[in-house]
Structure 1
């Protein structure tokens, strides 16, 4: 359908509302009261409608009564339908019921965040929303923003992205690093000298052997030997359990693995900055009820980490 924008500019939504009420009430005074307008404003709207439609719309039949014209009665159902569709399209909010919803959410994150949040989140989902499916994608950070922009993912959960103005971010929790070693290591604390003497396992998403620890050590004219680099956090505890290596790992993950695998946790001898794990999404999803519900579930799961 071709839209004649120049003709449509003669109309505005207020004129359609006035037309609908005038036809219903067959009275300028009563129509004005119903729309909470002055009688003069309603008379002006009627004058404009008559000019646009080239029809009187209301004609006087006596000193006190008016009658709707045949043409106005003929088009009235279509005008009312147009108003109903505008209301349904622009004003009616989608009702999202997690108990009955069928949704497939695509989330980009790493295995550390997934392991940290997923236990609480999975329990919430199975209890509240049995029809919801979560698809976790492992994406390089360089590809995340493009994936948000082209709508191939709904949400990114992680840290350290340089956002554009159309991306939205909300913090979930703060995290810090600890040194993780074999449980039979006799040390009760780790000096800088002992730290650099050991071989290291590194979690790297850049396919290299340099991490934040190396940058800090360089500032102190120190270096370490990284013998194993992996993009997977969760494999590191298994590697540590059978080696004399040390690794910097997020504390929440390390604490859980230490209990299960008998690993030892020690404070780092270098000043490793805390980091914040956040949710990041495209602004197109700000007001979508299902997306708002999903973000709330992650906030609840993150709060339970501190409880």
Structure 2
């Protein structure tokens, strides 16, 4: 294929289809009609002599050739855009743009509400789409531009992904204020007698509190396992259960659900919360603006 005769718009459309896994969504993203996108992909298939995508129930599945092309094409388009724009400034006060942030309950409850409130006043044209952080898929989504930023408890070992610790956390335990078995101070003896609602954990990792108890040859009495932190305060409020959560989240729940927060009666090390992004977005002025302000905001929490 002669690169000099290739319409570069075909690569821009390829990048959108690869990211969205859908012709119609790519058309919306590029403000083009769906027939225009379909015709462009047909031309690119012919030039590259490869189908590039195959239709499935899950959307457009890229071929091996498309997967090989995706990253170089994205980097080339980003380089061209930076060269054409010239000015690296981000007009946050007037520009309209959507950012996708992947978080679990902690980020959705503790970090993003106040940050989004600040951003809505500072940059009213910016929109945030929150989606769950999904294990191994997160790295692929960061690389392919489906996710711009992520908050997670664990850094990734992928050298192409940046990891910055934005805050550290510890744990608190929540009970009803009128819990018949708990006084002002929660002792270890009482903690072990209580029945607990706990978060379902993935893989082979164990919650920090359970690791600390296991070192003593002890364990919690687990009565209920839930998929999200968000259901814990409701269960605690209407029962004799206890729940152990990250401190900032626990304090928010204590205020909003009229619960009692207790220091965990064990020595628990602090644990970090990381902000993650892919290195191919390092020169994106908009994402850089968002990252820097989110990091500064987390430092004040």
TM bucket by the smaller chain? 0.5 to 0.7
* Structure 2 residue aligned with 1:178: 172
Contact 2:156 2:163 in 1 (8 A): no
* Structure 2 residue aligned with 1:109: 103
Deviations 1:186-241 (A, max 9, x none): 42222222211111111234289953322222221112221212231222111111
* Structure 2 residue aligned with 1:89: 83
Contact 1:176 1:273 in 2 (8 A): yes
Listed as ranges, the matches of 1:138-153 within 5 Å are 138-153=132-147
- Number of corresponding residues: 224
In 2 relative to 1, CA 176–235 (structure 1 residues): closer, same or farther, beyond 3 Å?
Answer: same
Where do 5+ consecutive residues of structure 1 fail to align? 5-85
Q: Distance in 1 between matches of 2:105 and 2:178?
A: 27
User: Which has the greater radius of gyration?
Assistant: 1
1:2 aligns with 2:13: no
Contact 2:82 2:88 in 1 (8 A): no
In 2 relative to 1, CA 162–121 (structure 1 residues): closer, same or farther, beyond 3 Å?
Answer: same
Q: Distance in 1 between matches of 2:283 and 2:155?
A: 23
- Tell me the SS of whatever aligns to 2:265: coil
Q: Distance in 1 between matches of 2:134 and 2:150?
A: 11
Aligned residues: CA RMSD: 2.5
Listed as ranges, the matches of 1:248-287 within 5 Å are 248-287=244-283
* Structure 2 residue aligned with 1:33: none
- Tell me the SS of whatever aligns to 1:134: strand
Distance apart, 1:260 and its partner CA: 2.2
Q: Distance in 2 between matches of 1:168 and 1:252?
A: 25
* Structure 2 residue aligned with 1:301: 297
Distance apart, 1:259 and its partner CA: 1.9
Q: Distance in 1 between matches of 2:163 and 2:192?
A: 36
- Tell me the SS of whatever aligns to 1:141: coil
- Tell me the SS of whatever aligns to 1:277: strand
Q: Distance in 2 between matches of 1:87 and 1:303?
A: 32
Q: Distance in 1 between matches of 2:119 and 2:139?
A: 26
With normalisation by structure 2, the TM-score equals 0.68
